[in-house]
Amino acid sequence: MSAVLIALMVLPFAAAVASAAAPMRVAKVLTVAGGLSTFGLSISLLESKGDAAALAGWLRVDPLSLVFLLAVAFLYVTTAIFAVGYAQPRSSERETRHYSRRFFAGLNLFAWAMVMAPVVNGFTLLWVAIEVTTVVSALLVATDDTDGAVEAAWKYVLIASMGLGVALLATLVMYYAGTASLGGSYELFYPRLLAAAGHFNPEVVRLAFGLAVVGFGTKMGLVPVHTWLPDAHSEAPTPVSALLSGALLTVSFYGILRFYQVTTRAVGPAYPRSVLLVFGIASLALAALYLARQRDLKRLLAYSSIEHMGILAIGMSFSAPIAVVGVLLQVLAHAAAKSTAFFGAGSVIAKFGTKELERVRGGIGALPWSGPMFLLSVLALSAMPPFGIFRSEFLIVEGGLGSSATALVAVLLLLVTIAFLGLSWYASQTMLTPLPSGVVRGEVSTTMALSMGLGLAALVLLGIHPPAQLSELLTRAAGELRGAR
């Protein structure tokens, strides 16, 4: 399996380099090929049960990292397919070539950095990978060169860079925590840290974890360090919005979980769970309220992402194993649901020429395939059965009740219900109303609709009967997360 890890490191990067020098038509093929190969390689790692290493341990996959790798790889391929229909020639050949180089090279490089984050072994390389995602995705947010896009990109760079500065400090503090037992010079490889964590200074580890939650939580979109997210997701090209929301946020959550593993073994689970609970409740509460008063379609979905990040944090605060399995399943389901919803939003915006919710009416009548699938994706985000988010949140709630956290479960259900009402109201107003006169019925692009179909199929699979290998992987990954001293 070491060859698979090396291929994962090489192929998306090669697709990015090749796309920078290729015509748009060829760049589309290269991007789809990069996505398909990355997803196929990630699926093949299930045979190893999430246990593979390469390059003397610098690359490593375990059950936890494989869960996040699968989420990123699936989004890579579906976003690549969507981008085939989304990216269109510009007014001149020169402008088309310039746009294609920026867009497709950046898209592949962004996906490569997010693939590398769960594949690299150690806090330092993880931080570098997430830092690369910031630089590349900020350029992608500004691709359309509008005033709003440039402003959102600058805001994103400033806030995310400050957050990652705090995350780098967390990495240095965790390194210092290990010097007492591992010496003054050692590699921050996860297995070594986990094996020695019981001998770390508890107060130093607590500080490192708090800094990590603030630092990586900035990229994850946790309140109150979330303020870049609605603007960036709203102004970015739709494929970039899908990757930001479906993949980047959860990759940042992966960074927090790696610190969580060490912290639970050093100081026990009570402290990290309490920290995550505070940030989770704040994020879910703010998102639920903002979902009730949105005017922009993509900002609506952006606040839905903050809602789901809050649910992930709350789920990790419950002690029951089934809740942690639900959290990891939510990572996969959120990736499929949020990307599908953004793809649908992209089709709606291309059809109606606006992101303003008040000006979008008759979506199902205008888009015979994308319209119904967009409505289904919103229902999936709202945790309606039979989709994967319903299953994952059911497991989280079951775990909360099993942990005697009845009051917290009640708060969770109340806020999720408020969010559901906001999402469903806007979805019904835009999709189920009569088709206005002058709007021609028909799809914007077949490939854009195809990418939505793939996402919905994955959501139904995760909701009804996840494959046995995947269920085993989630259980093993949850066991790794729950390890304590």
Confidence band, pLDDT 50/70/90 cuts, at residue 130: very high
pLDDT in tens, 157-172: 999 999 999 999 999 9
How confident is the model over 298-308, as a mean pLDDT? 94
User: Residue 347 and residue 182: Cα distance in Å, rounded?
Assistant: 54
180 compared with 289, residue with greater pLDDT: 289
User: Residue 65 and residue 118: Cα distance in Å, rounded?
Assistant: 5
The pLDDT of residue 294 is: 84
Q: Which residues pair with 120 in a beta bridge?
A: 59
pLDDT at 245 exceeding the cut of 50: yes
Mean pLDDT is lowest, of 87-96, 156-165, 216-225, 338-347, for: 87-96
Question: Domain coordinates of the chain in residue numbers?
Answer: 1-119, 122-268, 281-485
Cis peptide before 224 (omega within 30 of 0): yes
48 compared with 80, residue with greater pLDDT: 80
Tokens of 352: 């109606």
How confident is the model over 265-281, as a mean pLDDT? 95
The pLDDT of residue 485 is: 41
Mean pLDDT is lowest, of 175-179, 214-218, 261-265, for: 175-179
In the predicted model, what is the mean pLDDT of the chain?
92
User: Residue 376 and residue 374: Cα distance in Å, rounded?
Assistant: 5
The pLDDT of residue 51 is: 82
pLDDT in tens, 275-294: 999 999 999 999 999 988 88
pLDDT at 184 exceeding the cut of 90: no
- 49: region left, alpha or beta (phi > 0 left; psi from -120 to 50 alpha): left
Decide if 246 contacts 343 (C-beta within 8 A). Answer: no
pLDDT at 480 exceeding the cut of 70: yes
96 compared with 247, residue with greater pLDDT: 247
pLDDT in tens, 426-444: 988 899 988 888 788 889 8
Decide if 145 contacts 98 (C-beta within 8 A). Answer: no
pLDDT at 140 exceeding the cut of 90: yes
The pLDDT of residue 166 is: 97
pLDDT at 72 exceeding the cut of 90: yes
* Of residues 240, 19, 242, the one with CA closest to residue 143: 240
pLDDT at 473 exceeding the cut of 90: yes
Confidence band, pLDDT 50/70/90 cuts, at residue 178: confident
pLDDT at 256 exceeding the cut of 50: yes
Exposure string of 80-94, with b = 16+ CB inside 10 Å and e = fewer, is bbbbbbbbeeeeeee
Q: What angle do CA 379, 383, 388 make, to 5 degrees?
A: 100
Q: Which residue has the tokens 């497709």?
A: 104
Mean pLDDT is lowest, of 86-100, 219-233, 352-366, 447-461, for: 86-100
The pLDDT of residue 124 is: 93
pLDDT in tens, 13-34: 999 999 999 999 999 999 999 9
Decide if 16 contacts 64 (C-beta within 8 A). Answer: no
pTM: 0.96
The pLDDT of residue 94 is: 81
The pLDDT of residue 16 is: 96
How confident is the model over 34-46, as a mean pLDDT? 96
pLDDT at 98 exceeding the cut of 90: no
Tokens of 337: 């649901």
How confident is the model over 313-338, as a mean pLDDT? 95
The pLDDT of residue 484 is: 46
